[in-house]
Chains A and B, each alone.
Chain A
Amino acid sequence: MGEDALVIGVGNPDRGDDGAGVAVLAHLQGRLPGGVRLVRLSGADPAHIIEAWQGAGTVFLVDAMVSGAPVGTWRRFDAAAEPLPAEVSLASTHALGAGAAIEMARVLGRLPQALTVYAIEGATFSVGVPMGGAVAAGAAEVANQILEEVQRA
């Protein structure tokens, strides 16, 4: 994996478990090989997301999800191959949400070659509430997974 990889963390750390994506970025800070960029997005409108990954061949996108799974559970999806399963809703407390942004990019032919989505199940998205312990643990695991994938490539 070379110059053209990036990790996008989506979410608002002021809103409880919505901060999962940003927490993963914090874990990765300083641990990735040079050339892998970290990008933080508070929301996920298509213009921001599509612009963020423009020119990148390999993209990891991390977000909170609401799917009914136990809180803190994480799942990995190959979003370049197919849309996220219907039961997975990437949690957006604002804008269209990362899932919609990915599908908009797919329609417009603007997806990166490789797009891996890591989604961490959240439960509480209220303003001013801290992120739950299970979500924080899930974020640490996802960071290790991404690190492993980057190092393996």
Chain B
Amino acid sequence: MSTPSKPETRAISVDYLARVEGEGSLKARVRDGKAEITEFGIFEPPRFYEAFLRGRRFGDAPDITARICGICPIAYQMSSVHAMESILGVKMEGALRELRRLIYCGEWIESHVLHAFMLHLPDFLGYQSAIHMAADHRAAVEKALKLKKFGNDIVALLGGREIHPVNVKVGGWYKVPTKKQLLEMVPNLEWALDAATWAVEFTAGLPFPEVEQDYEYVSVCHPDEYPYNEGRLVSNKGIDIPASEWNQVFEEVHVARSNALQSKVRERGSYHVGPLARYSLNFEKLSPRVQRLAAAAGLGPTCFNPFKSIVVRCLETVHAVEEALRIIDAYEPPSRPDVPFVVKAGEGHGATEAPRGMLYHRYRLDDQGYILDAQIAPPTAQSQMCIEDDLRLVLEASLDLSDDDLQWRLEQTIRNYDPCISCATHFLKVEIDRG
């Protein structure tokens, strides 16, 4: 790469989602081989929803927050109901609790398969998009779409509808399924188990850059279960707290170069949430089948290569299908779909595992159950500093690439995280000042 004689800002590409204000922009400055991110915006924080929730009743939060994300509405519902239930003293147990895990299984399956096969896989196979890839890999794409559909089916059955489900409520459910309804999904889920196993084997064979990063991984950890709804917040660098202490350990900061709030570990800096964090902090709670598949895929009990997140998403898909089958097998409909509670004032916290990482909600209620204030820390905002760290390293290591190749490499780096706005094929407006 020739070095221009005077500083120059080179616009590498302008495309696509740049039309959505505040999203999909990256500007960086490179001097003497060192990169500095000067502007980075990939995600719009849910400030509007935080404001919109104030003055609403506690029971509105699950349905309002579900509208934040078309891909992971269940995660928003789960973190909000658990936060509310922590205020109201409601404990989910037995079949009601199992159904909460089951609907989350459905969301993990559909979200992971969408990301791995429609968004991430074309990067590895060298296609511009899933559409181009589908022409050459039709059978694989068909299989992935069918697998994803069986995840959708779980969400549609338990959530009342596929998009923005409405059946979850504070205290339980509006309506619970019959055993027969759940059993009808079993043949499809048995097929899904084989398909997800194939997905692990398929993605494990992809070429991966040999990169390892010293991430601080943070996830929900439960003593007995691979995490969905419940557990403490744990990291590989010493954090071990209840969700109620989120604001004591983490903080959200405004950074001039970004429109979004970024989260950091106080006094320390970036941290990483998502499948790699869950996997590396909870490996021993995965089923023997998933552990065997991981070993066969060349993964140890931890994984610090961000590109291998595609394999881990497929491993978690196997886990989610197995877990769904286990829950359905043991299911006995509860005597009632919800548990009673008395509305009271207080502050509550909920941290659950969205497909793309831990999602934290905090609410304060008055004694009539009206929301006084709300805080929502989505996984993309929590991982954003980490994404910036990765981008800096990738930039510094890839300065000899052409502008087009560099653009693609940077997008791939962001897609490792499955951020909320990773969906467009070319979503990033990139400007690199190469000096």
Chain A interface residues toward B at CB < 8 A: 12, 14, 40-43, 45-48, 50-51, 66, 89, 91-97, 100, 103-104, 107-108, 124-128
Contacts and interface: CB of A to CB of B under 8 A. Distances in A.
Contact of B67 (A12, A51, A91): A12
Given A42-B163, A107-B134, A47 B148 contact: yes
Contacts of B52: 128
Given A95-B71, A107-B134, A127-B44, 10 more contacts: A42-B67, A46-B118, A47-B149, A93-B20, A104-B130, A104-B141, A107-B131, A108-B134, A124-B21, A128-B52
Contacts of A125: 19-21
Contacts of A95: 70-71, 114, 423
B200 to A, nearest CB: 20
A46 B164 CA distance: 17
A14 B71 contact: no
Given A66-B19, A94-B423, A100-B131, A47 B164 contact: no
A43 to B, nearest CB: 4
DSSP class of B's interface residues: helix, strand, loop or mixed? helix
10 contacts: A45-B71, A46-B145, A47-B152, A48-B163, A51-B152, A92-B423, A95-B114, A107-B134, A126-B21, A128-B48
B238 to A, nearest CB: 36
A94 B69 contact: yes
A108 B19 contact: no
Contacts of A89: 16, 19
DSSP class of A's interface residues: helix, strand, loop or mixed? loop
A77 B3 CA distance: 47
Nearest to A39: B163
Interface string B248-264: 00000000000000000
Nearest to A42: B70
B67 A108 contact: no
A48 B152 contact: yes
A37 B393 CA distance: 51
Please indicate which of the listed interface residues A40, A48, A66 has the most CB atoms of chain B within 10 Å of its own CB.
Answer: A48
Contacts of B16: 89
Contact of A41 (B44, B134, B138, B163): B163
B36 interface: no
Interface in B212-241: none
A95 B129 CA distance: 13
A58 to B, nearest CB: 22
B60 interface: no
Contacts of B149: 47, 51
Please indicate which of the listed interface residues B17, B69, B119 has the most CB atoms of chain A within 10 Å of its own CB.
Answer: B17
B70 A94 contact: yes
A32 B19 CA distance: 34
Contacts of B71: 43, 45, 94-95
Contacts of A40: 163
A96 B152 contact: no
B119 to A, nearest CB: 8
